[in-house]
């Protein structure tokens, strides 16, 4: 466990020092914890691009509805529906995504937790011209009052004209601490480098730093909000994020 914790800390340092492709849709850093066996979780994600970057997306709303169900203590399945506001103001369906997740190690005060999840995308042609699979490693550990999460992300196109492209790398990472019994604050990093063997030039990558606040409203409902600040040329300058989670 201590060795895994050391790996987790070293990975955090490397992510923070690396030169930061676009982050996965939405700004979410996953932890190891999943719904209890037989429980169903629902999440409504909303991102609002307040200030777009080079390819301006000013005023764009992105929406996701996520449902996760744990059929054992270790295994969870889920489905996502993604939507975007069109230019005429109507809501437009973008894609469906399907999730399988397994928990390998629980988080403990003296050791790190580990989980894996895989997501397969089925996009509409207007949204993206290829399907892809994403495999995400989920590390989580406590360092005193700090909760640290790392999500290295590996993506591979599985259809379309560029199916022969190699494996791409992205990341999501965050550190959080309580500020009251029901509120925690944190700082997240999101981004990617494109294909591992042919990394995108740094100006063409999209990287964000995201201050967040999470409020546990009650035993079933929690709300997380944040502001994603892009610090590379291709990134949107300022995006507001909201994740509303309900445990049925």
* Spatial distance between the Cα atoms of 128 and 121, rounded to a whole number of angstroms: 10
Q: Label residue 87 by pLDDT band (50, 70, 90).
A: low
Query: What's the average model confidence in pLDDT over 42-55?
Result: 83
* Mean pLDDT of the region 180-194: 94
Q: Are 233 and 53 in contact (CB under 8 A)?
A: yes
Decide if pLDDT at 201 tops 90: no
CA distance 248 to 246: 6
- Report whether pLDDT(228) > 90: yes
Q: What is the mean pLDDT of residues 190-203?
A: 85
For the record, the structure tokens of 246 come out as 């309900």
Beta-bridge partners for 41: 68, 247
At residue 197, the pLDDT reads 87
In 3D, which of 193, 243, 181, 196 has the Cα closest to residue 47? 243
pLDDT digits (tens, 9 = 90+) for 134-166: 999 999 999 999 999 999 999 999 999 889 999
- Predicted pLDDT at 220: 92
Most distant pair of Cα atoms in the chain: their distance: 54
- Who's near 173: CB < 8 A, 6+ residues apart? 12, 15, 16, 29, 148, 149, 150, 151, 188, 189, 190
């Amino acid at each position: 466990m201590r060795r895994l914790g050391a790996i987790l800390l070293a990975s955090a340092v490397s992510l923070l020092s690396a030169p930061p492709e676009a982050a996965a849709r939405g700004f979410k850093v996953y932890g190891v914890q999943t719904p209890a066996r037989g429980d169903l979780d629902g999440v409504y994600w909303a991102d609002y691009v307040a200030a777009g970057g080079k390819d301006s997306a000013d005023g764009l709303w992105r929406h996701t509805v996520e449902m996760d169900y744990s059929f054992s203590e270790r295994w969870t399945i889920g489905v996502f529906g993604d939507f975007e506001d069109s230019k005429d103001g109507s809501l437009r369906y973008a894609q469906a995504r399907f999730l399988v997740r397994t928990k390998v190690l629980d988080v403990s005060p003296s050791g790190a937790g580990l989980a894996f999840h895989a997501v397969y995308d089925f996009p509409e042609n207007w949204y993206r011209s290829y399907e892809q699979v994403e495999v995400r490693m989920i590390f989580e550990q406590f360092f005193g009052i700090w909760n640290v999460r790392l999500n290295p992300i590996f993506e591979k196109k599985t259809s379309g004209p560029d199916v022969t492209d190699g494996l791409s790398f992205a990341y999501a990472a965050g550190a959080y601490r309580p500020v009251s019994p029901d509120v925690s604050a944190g700082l997240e990093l999101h981004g990617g480098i494109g294909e591992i063997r042919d990394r995108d030039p740094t100006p063409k990558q999209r990287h964000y730093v995201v201050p967040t606040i999470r409020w546990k409203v009650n035993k079933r409902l929690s709300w997380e909000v944040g502001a994603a600040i892009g610090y590379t040329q291709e990134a949107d300058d300022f995006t507001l994020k909201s994740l509303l989670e309900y445990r049925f």
